[in-house]
Structure 1
């Protein structure tokens, strides 16, 4: 409770800084384009710093992907510097600005003396603001060192990752996860597990897209999370090596290498990790008779021992066909092997809490996962700035094979060895993606865009459950649970959008059409469930810049959530015989209309980014709970079954803000807060699932530079309680701690981080049905301590610019989607 109160007070404190409003006066524009003098390619993220004649920084900005920039200033005389790491700085001294000024094409030359100080992991501002998204840069977050993609996402504003690894955006799990703007084998067949296999060091940034434009897939009713992987851009050969060790057992290493010449860029990222992730859960059930009186109890406790060996490698070549075109090929290979033991102990008690029976169920499971993916990208920049063509082709194949042996024992009142069980899953997925995007500028302040995409997916799941026949001493196929699922889903999309900037007002209007062709075959019964439909998805994004430090955005998008194959597959989980989960082949997509109003304000030391949002969903997919009586070891037993259905409509309202505050040069504070309410209406099997839920979460990050140039970062997170039609979940607090020190003349970095310092990251919930009440607790991973060492060669880690130097911790580009 003290942690909860502390987080609330700090959230309020950083939200009310004593900041004076920025001056407002007439502005004029300084524009230009920055290129590499040797390759003639545009330099993205080149820095423009505008200073007064006495040396004070007035304003500034950075270049976009085309190397262009536009900065607004008042009339006056300035010193204007154009900088890019490892290049010589160009300065326009005593430049008199009396009207809109075009500095033209600015060519930067390589600085040979600084090649050993190339910045690969840039410590840029934590969050950059665009018209339709926020960009979270991973480089400066110490608490994810040695971690995974799940750890990275769990530190991104607006995003939460629960104890099972499920990702939510603004409290909504219906989020689309992309890698480099496309579906990827890095997300794998089982989504959340694959995110735990991707090392954090391979990630450059995460884009949080809450109001996607028509360029993006319509999938994901909450929005899109785009994970952008690192690819070095610096000339010459450079790289980094990282090693990590932790407790519980966690050992790993990764290598990131890059070699760039005038004609080609070679890059690779390879990592290996061994992890032992112990977890636990409990589920205590109270049973009621027809009159509502307590009849008996069942208490279950489970322990999970998970050992995983994971290997990832990704390498590619970017070949510059000309000054304005390039061809990039990448290969991804991912392999993992897991040895898991799940032990479930159940106690059955009578009305007086007297123990009647104890039985134990132990599952030994071996998992082998493998993914290979090939990708090819062609990019052509035409003579006019912003005029470009991008073509993508991608092929991926993933396999996931698991074999489980389940033993079952009665241990009280007498020891009985019950018949064992075996089950196996062989899963194979093949994916083909073909995609094209064409951008055509129309004049100086408007552009037209057109694109297409074909996303073709085939998946086969063979699920076999075998029971043991004591008469023959052999296993036989239990056809009540075994099944084979053939799943094919092809999605064909086209889109178009138009954007224009009129003085300080910008708009981006788009329309996307998606045709979904879904085919499901259950081989065991030869049943077919086919659906084909075409839907239109309009998008609107509006922006208004009041001045350099204040802006307003408004976004609308229609989205959908297609059920994934594990929601469609009707097989039952077998870890527990009394609490099972299964899919539903008849699920339809969920459709959502989303509105988002955002406000950004910057002061000298403080930045506030806030938004109000509303989402209306129909065909909402909800997990419902039913009951059945089955014979288990010849004993009639009540079984709880959970499965998804298109149950309800839902209205979701919310408010969120993110703040960046730098009270001193040695102390920085970042805070995010999200409050939301959801109203659900629906009925299933004569049971009302109406729910009115209010919840919230907040995350506070404090970064302090201690004496000796030791960085200390503390992250506190609190998720408020929530309530559904059949369940309640308690609030949850967690704290991460990290220390970092640069050594070896800043070529090396040593860091220590503690994940879940209080060992409190546990989901505690209560579920209800007409005849039961279940109280559960689940902890995926216990507290973890990690020691990490990174060594950089032909690079040098740079200190970041203090927030407020020129852009207050972010940037805004009207048309960069």
Structure 2
């Protein structure tokens, strides 16, 4: 007998009752009389049955759950209802009697509850818990297991814990597999072609992310990530920052009673990781303690050809380099939660992250003037990128009734960042002729207060509002030192030194309204206002004039359930993007004298209007999601490259608010169950972008420049569950040529293959993985042009990797009721470094 998916998103109660009655009569056996196919006619009463339905494991509401009221004596369906997006349901006009309530939703086991209704008395069932269990047509059964990718009302969720090849990698490795995301070889993340995104960890911000997204992701082991949420159209509740969208990384937690210790490790030729995660929970109190460390080692070679014009002269530079990279990243956390009472919960946490990145590079430079060799040199560069970050939070929530709650959250976050280099400049005889040192220390402090309140209005509406204050302080102290072959370092008078003190205070308030209608529409609209006050100075060099500004950012999301399995969505939102510390810091990085970079402390935020439309559907054993989008940005923070007279042949890169960007694109994602044990999923990303900015011509005059291009990419993954605990997974990723304002970058691809074997006691596993195993690594080329320079660079990363992974859990735990969810601070308001043009 074929088993049917139970309908989801059933807003029409009558259609639900008819469908469920047919289901009861064919699939539930003795629950339904064989000669019945109509609903029972029962006198109406004046009682009400209500409750709240949640996932028994994830402690999240089961959205739009179907509820049927069944007569206990004859098993006939007499009434029904559909829950809202928070899991709340109500059945009114119920007469006195004995009943069964049947709860159904796609992906969960049916739930039955017996109850007695007395005349004139309402029944509040509290929280009803449903367990996961998906049944498909053609006898394909997945029990208690989530899909790799899930489509929620306002986001796409990638369930990373099902990815067996992620062990031993970091967050940037994992994000390459998430639909709509693209991660380059340096770890810079973009969403639908935009790198102006906000990355959160467990709905919370961190100064470690604000300092540098790419480096921060390398600190997070993939093993500790439970899921990744991609939010392309954030509601007014979220900070206005992140013009491209929000990525929320959810780490693994548990709601178990008892004591346990989990060991997670991996060893490979390019990286090694070790994680220890312990938890203890007794009654209302719980503690978690975790430590994760990862070391990696890699090597790379690069070639740079560069021509610059100055009058009638052409200065040419040819560079070759080889580098060895070593990194040691770690995160350590302590968490605490306590149920203060039936409707109150308190949680607190401390997380410390550390990054130690060291690069040793041999740099060979040949210089020419009008094709005549003029100089050559060799440099040995030692670069150190070190940081330590601490995050501390306290969160409180008070629940008055389902969907009505008040929360108050605090967060303190601090990052100390050191980005130094030491250079030995060698003579032609190979001896050290002079030395150069850059000392660049930064700190980023944030303190946040936030309060939120939500309350239902009738049974199909929800009102949310809140306020937030962010107090941010950034400091940078940088200087250059020089020395001869021997002797002490002294201040280098030819290169700038100084201080940046940057204070930013943000006050925000929002209101959001949600409505679910009987004809299957869901509307969520809201607006947010943010006022930003800035004060900045460069120490003895005086203050920087940066005006304060206020921004109103509206948003609206509309979805419609066309059928039981098909939903369409359209959305609009306005977002803003403040500059990050990497773009503000005026420190001049001259580790490579021909390719210099510096920030601009006078940058202003950029504003973006986003439009999108999407369709998701299930066709037998295939889930399909298609979306199209448009994005328009003014005052864009754009990389600008130019030459300087004081150093012939050098190109300087900085940032200016001179750009305009327009982007149009589409995303297609599909997940197919070939069998009950074999799944294939993949996605295709298409993007057409147009950029405008300014550059300098040969006369030193600023002139407009623009560039347009088409980019495409995609990924495919296949996973097979075999007998006796064996699992196999293959993955491949490709990103095509990327257009930049003043040039382009070639595409690249990556692939991996992995398998694992679960132990018979289900307490651990051992696995093997291989990445780029048929090639030495990945090579990509960047081409940049302007009226006064042309630059071509090529980099080869030797990232072929083989690894062995091991996981084991010690201790015995028993499941407890999920702890009450607490709200937490979520800052989404600064722009990271990386390529932005």
Q: TM-score, normalised by structure 2?
A: 0.80
**Which of the residues 159, 165, 168 maps onto 2:181?**
159
Assess, with a 3 A threshold, how the Cα gap between structure 1 residues 796 and 160 changes in structure 2: closer, same or farther: farther
**Which of the residues 185, 188, 191 maps onto 1:169?**
191
**Which of the residues 281, 296, 300 maps onto 2:302?**
281
1:263-282 matches, cutoff 5 A: 263-282=284-303
The yes-or-no answer on 1:671 pairing with 2:682 is yes
Moved more, 302-311 or 639-648: 302-311
Moved more, 704-713 or 175-184: 704-713
- Name the counterpart of 1:778: 795
**Which of the residues 635, 659, 664 maps onto 2:670?**
659
Cα offset for 1:530? 2.7
- Name the counterpart of 1:689: 705
5+ residue gaps, structure 2: 1-6, 21-49, 71-80, 92-98, 115-121, 132-142, 697-701, 816-837
Assess, with a 3 A threshold, how the Cα gap between structure 1 residues 340 and 172 changes in structure 2: closer, same or farther: same
Give the length in aligned residue pairs. Answer: 737
Partner Cα separation in structure 1 for residue 213 and residue 685 of structure 2: 25
Cα offset for 1:167? 0.9
Q: Deviations over 1:323-361 (max 9, x none)?
A: 221000101112333433122212235767x86643111
1:393-792 matches, cutoff 5 A: 393-411=410-428, 417-468=432-483, 474-478=489-493, 480-503=495-518, 504-630=520-646, 637-685=648-696, 686-706=702-722, 709-757=725-773, 758-779=775-796, 782-792=799-809
Q: Deviations over 1:577-597 (max 9, x none)?
A: 111111122221110010110
**Which of the residues 131, 149, 168 maps onto 1:127?**
149
Moved more, 393-402 or 707-716: 707-716
Q: Secondary structure at the match of 1:28?
A: helix
Q: Deviations over 1:31-65 (max 9, x none)?
A: 8535799x9x97757998999x9xxxxxxx99999
Assess, with a 3 A threshold, how the Cα gap between structure 1 residues 92 and 386 changes in structure 2: closer, same or farther: closer
Cα offset for 1:135? 1.5
Partner Cα separation in structure 2 for residue 703 and residue 539 of structure 1: 38
- Name the counterpart of 1:346: 365
Q: Secondary structure at the match of 1:638?
A: coil
Counterpart contact for 1:164–1:780, Cα < 8 Å: no
- Name the counterpart of 1:18: none
The yes-or-no answer on 1:179 pairing with 2:201 is yes
Calculate the aligned-residue CA RMSD, in Å: 3.9
Counterpart contact for 1:747–1:795, Cα < 8 Å: no
Assess, with a 3 A threshold, how the Cα gap between structure 1 residues 732 and 108 changes in structure 2: closer, same or farther: closer
- Name the counterpart of 2:221: 199
Partner Cα separation in structure 1 for residue 110 and residue 709 of structure 2: 55
Cα offset for 1:795? 7.1
Counterpart contact for 2:481–2:489, Cα < 8 Å: no
Partner Cα separation in structure 1 for residue 163 and residue 544 of structure 2: 49
Q: Deviations over 1:756-780 (max 9, x none)?
A: 3444434311111224321112356
Partner Cα separation in structure 2 for residue 43 and residue 289 of structure 1: 64
The yes-or-no answer on 1:374 pairing with 2:392 is yes
Counterpart contact for 1:440–1:449, Cα < 8 Å: yes
Q: Secondary structure at the match of 1:132?
A: coil
Cα offset for 1:254? 0.8
Cα offset for 1:295? 5.2
Cα offset for 1:692? 1.4
Counterpart contact for 1:380–1:388, Cα < 8 Å: yes
**Which of the residues 179, 186, 190 maps onto 2:212?**
190
Assess, with a 3 A threshold, how the Cα gap between structure 1 residues 763 and 589 changes in structure 2: closer, same or farther: farther
Moved more, 683-692 or 222-231: 683-692
User: Rg larger in 1 or in 2?
Assistant: 2
Partner Cα separation in structure 1 for residue 577 and residue 797 of structure 2: 26
Cα offset for 1:796? 10
Partner Cα separation in structure 1 for residue 395 and residue 721 of structure 2: 42
Assess, with a 3 A threshold, how the Cα gap between structure 1 residues 186 and 64 changes in structure 2: closer, same or farther: farther
Assess, with a 3 A threshold, how the Cα gap between structure 1 residues 614 and 370 changes in structure 2: closer, same or farther: same
Moved more, 144-153 or 281-290: 281-290
- Name the counterpart of 1:262: 283
Partner Cα separation in structure 1 for residue 415 and residue 537 of structure 2: 20
Cα offset for 1:487? 1.3
Assess, with a 3 A threshold, how the Cα gap between structure 1 residues 159 and 78 changes in structure 2: closer, same or farther: farther
Assess, with a 3 A threshold, how the Cα gap between structure 1 residues 358 and 596 changes in structure 2: closer, same or farther: same
Counterpart contact for 2:197–2:245, Cα < 8 Å: yes
Q: Deviations over 1:264-302 (max 9, x none)?
A: 1222221122222323332122456867xx956422123
- Name the counterpart of 2:380: 362
Partner Cα separation in structure 2 for residue 622 and residue 160 of structure 1: 19
5+ residue gaps, structure 1: 1-20, 54-60, 72-76, 94-100, 111-120, 632-636, 799-817
Assess, with a 3 A threshold, how the Cα gap between structure 1 residues 70 and 624 changes in structure 2: closer, same or farther: farther
Assess, with a 3 A threshold, how the Cα gap between structure 1 residues 67 and 132 changes in structure 2: closer, same or farther: closer
